[in-house]
């Protein structure tokens, strides 16, 4: 049953096909890097010795000593200008971080966040380092240059702001259009739900593969594309336009309205115990906090916001608001604004829906699988478009381009790792060599694409390259200062161990496929068929 007229169907097909073709290669890059970025925390820990990303993202703060005496002692050495706000949180390397915030005009006359940043041992609260100055002058937290590179590639294609965000926003929008047009175009979407790809012709097989993957991925394809486009456009277009509309162009005022600092009437002479507040909040929620914010801290906190990670089964964390003077519980703080609202509830969904980090490793595995499925949808769509035009010589180059991109994106990400690990081990500039590894492997693949014109030969070379790169990556990590498997087991870092094994499993799987090794006897009867690939 067709819901739309023939002419409209043709237009929608043109939209679905051409937008996917023109931007599909970039979209594939975004989707694949996105699927990898879901595991940014785990991959950071895997790639950078000394990092423990779980300390920040998946576990509450480890508060082994009372915070109040530490806070009081630190604030004695911090000037009043930095006491607009205090934030207490964990760090990538498992240390505790206490930051005093203020605002001041920098050399360019622009108001910028100023900080006094303390890094402390979580067990003894001994101050390990102290930095003071503008936010832009602060040393970056411990990081993995490899994962920073891949995540930034996903967020803005490493293009300068705002152009990079515009590009990724447009790609997200294209995917929204593709999912909606695909839904309208697929006339038998429910009855075709279980129709496995037919073998009567290569073109039909390609079409069925694409539509089947697209149909099942439709809900999350739309959600991920919509939320991704939102994130790209929110700061670049949304904030300036809404500031213009509602606050005469004052973006600071807009941010203040959406994310206000709660001002609570001060009780003179009273200072509540931060430790009692934390204990009360933890008892209410059932887990220890992940971070604490003291607003307008000036020896007497006006408000204390205690943030907790999502409870088991939940999506969003819980933030409890307290009177800093009396320690009295005020309310559960909404995601944005001062009062719970429909807008705040909706806004709170965007992050979890896009990042998939609300349920620990389980939700990340599901989101990673969704990303892989969407990557397949994108690539199979490109393949279908090219196969429909296989008889036209002008499109032969596009076929090779699709093959090159399909294998090339993961190979270049592994190329980035090939630049990163040696640089890390040899104490070179890891960011520089990571980028060089990526660009170098991309350039090598382009040269390969130019020299090797036959699709079958190109595919074969790329497959062997991928198998080799997968097999060598854990070896590189281990050879250049990464934790050995024994050390990982001692640190109870099962995830990093599993990541190493997954690389090798991937390489072995590829090898088995390439060599056509049958691991178990096939029971299916050989039918008349055309190879799908």
Residues 318-377 that bind other proteins (CB under 8 A): 334, 336-344, 346-347, 350, 352-353, 356, 358-359, 362-363, 366-367, 369-370, 373
Which residue number, 110 or 528, has a Cβ lying nearer to other proteins? 528
User: Shortest Cβ distance from residue 242 to other proteins (Å)?
Assistant: 5
> By CB under 8 A, what part of segment 214-243 binds other proteins?
216-217, 219-220, 225-226, 229-230, 233-234, 237-239, 241-242
Rounded CA-CA distance 481/532 in Å is: 43
User: Shortest Cβ distance from residue 354 to other proteins (Å)?
Assistant: 11
> By CB under 8 A, what part of segment 292-311 binds other proteins?
310
User: Shortest Cβ distance from residue 320 to other proteins (Å)?
Assistant: 17
Check binding of 167 to other proteins (CB under 8 A).
no
Check binding of 257 to other proteins (CB under 8 A).
yes
Exposure pattern of 258-269 as b/e (b: 16+ CB <10 Å)? eeeebebeeeee
Single out the residue of 110, 454, 518, 523 in contact with other proteins (rule: CB under 8 A).
523
User: Shortest Cβ distance from residue 189 to other proteins (Å)?
Assistant: 12
Check binding of 472 to other proteins (CB under 8 A).
no
Which residue number, 19 or 325, has a Cβ lying nearer to other proteins? 19
Check binding of 519 to other proteins (CB under 8 A).
no
Q: Which residues contact 411 (CB under 8 A, 6 or more apart)?
A: 441, 445, 462, 465, 466, 469
DSSP string for 72-124: HHHHHTS-GGGTTEEEEEE-TTS-EEEEEEEEEE-TTS-EEEEEEEEEE-TTT
User: Shortest Cβ distance from residue 123 to other proteins (Å)?
Assistant: 27
125: left (phi over 0), alpha (psi -120 to 50) or beta: left
User: Shortest Cβ distance from residue 338 to other proteins (Å)?
Assistant: 6
Token pair recorded at residue 304: 């204390």
Tell me which stretch binds other proteins (CB under 8 A): 7-15, 47-55, 445-453, 461-469: 7-15
Do residues 83 and 74 touch, judged by C-beta distance below 8 A?
A: no
> By CB under 8 A, what part of segment 179-208 binds other proteins?
180, 191-199
Check binding of 28 to other proteins (CB under 8 A).
no
For other proteins (CB under 8 A), the number of binding residues is: 83
Taking the CA atoms of 263, 267, 269 and 271 in sequence, report the sign of the dihedral they define: negative
Which residue number, 6 or 110, has a Cβ lying nearer to other proteins? 6
Do residues 89 and 97 touch, judged by C-beta distance below 8 A?
A: yes
Phi, psi of 169 (to 5 degrees): -65, -45
Which of these, 441, 364, 373, 456, lies nearest to 408 by C-alpha position? Answer: 441
């Amino acid at each position: 049953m067709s819901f739309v007229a023939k002419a409209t169907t043709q237009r929608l097909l043109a939209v679905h096909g051409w937008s996917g073709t023109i931007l599909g290669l970039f979209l594939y890059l975004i989707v694949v890097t996105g699927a990898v970025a879901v595991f940014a925390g785990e991959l950071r820990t895997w790639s950078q010795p000394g990092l423990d990303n779980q300390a920040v993202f998946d576990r509450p703060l480890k508060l082994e000593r009372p915070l109040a005496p530490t806070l009081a002692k630190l604030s004695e050495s911090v000037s009043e200008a930095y006491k607009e706000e205090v934030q207490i949180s964990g760090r990538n390397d498992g240390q505790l971080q206490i930051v005093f915030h203020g605002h001041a005009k920098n050399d360019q006359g622009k108001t910028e966040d100023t900080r006094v940043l303390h890094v402390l041992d979580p067990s003894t609260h001994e101050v390990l380092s102290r930095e003071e100055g503008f936010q832009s002058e602060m040393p970056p937290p411990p990081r993995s240059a490899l994962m920073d590179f891949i995540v930034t590639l996903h967020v803005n294609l490493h293009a300068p702001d705002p152009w990079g965000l515009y590009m990724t926003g447009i790609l997200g929008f294209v995917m929204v259009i593709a999912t909606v047009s695909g839904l309208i175009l697929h006339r038998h979407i429910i009855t075709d739900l279980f129709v496995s790809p037919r073998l009567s012709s290569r073109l039909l097989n390609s079409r069925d593969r694409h539509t089947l993957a697209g149909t099942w991925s439709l809900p999350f394809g739309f959600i991920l594309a919509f939320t991704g486009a939102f994130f790209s456009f929110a700061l670049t277009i949304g904030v300036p336009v809404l500031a213009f509309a509602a606050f005469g162009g004052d973006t600071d005022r807009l941010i203040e309205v959406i994310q206000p600092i709660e001002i609570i009437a001060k009780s003179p002479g009273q200072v509540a115990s931060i430790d009692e507040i934390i204990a009360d909040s933890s008892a209410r929620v059932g887990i220890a906090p992940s971070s604490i914010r003291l607003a307008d801290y000036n020896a007497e906190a006006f408000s204390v916001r205690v943030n907790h990670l999502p409870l088991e089964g939940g999506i969003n964390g819980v933030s409890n608001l307290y009177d800093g003077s009396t320690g009295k519980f005020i309310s559960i703080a909404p995601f944005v604004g001062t009062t719970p609202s429909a807008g705040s509830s909706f806004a709170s969904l965007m992050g979890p829906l896009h990042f998939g980090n609300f349920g620990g490793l389980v939700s990340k595995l599901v989101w990673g699988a969704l990303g892989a499925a969407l990557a397949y949808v994108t690539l199979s769509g490109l393949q279908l478009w090219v196969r429909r035009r296989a008889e036209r010589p002008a499109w032969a180059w596009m076929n090779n381009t699709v093959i090159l991109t399909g294998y090339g994106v993961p190979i270049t990400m592994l190329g980035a790792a090939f630049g990163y690990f040696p640089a890390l081990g040899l104490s070179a500039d890891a960011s520089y060599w990571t980028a060089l590894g990526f660009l170098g492997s991309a350039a090598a693949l382009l040269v390969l694409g130019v020299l090797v014109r036959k699709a079958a030969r190109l595919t074969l070379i790329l497959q062997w390259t991928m198998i080799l790169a997968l097999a060598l990556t854990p070896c590189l990590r281990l050879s250049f200062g990464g934790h050995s498997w024994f050390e990982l087991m001692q640190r109870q870092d099962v995830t990093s161990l599993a990541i190493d094994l997954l690389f090798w499993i991937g390489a072995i799987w590829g090898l088995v496929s390439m060599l056509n090794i049958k691991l178990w006897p096939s029971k299916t009867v050989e039918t008349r068929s055309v190879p799908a690939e």
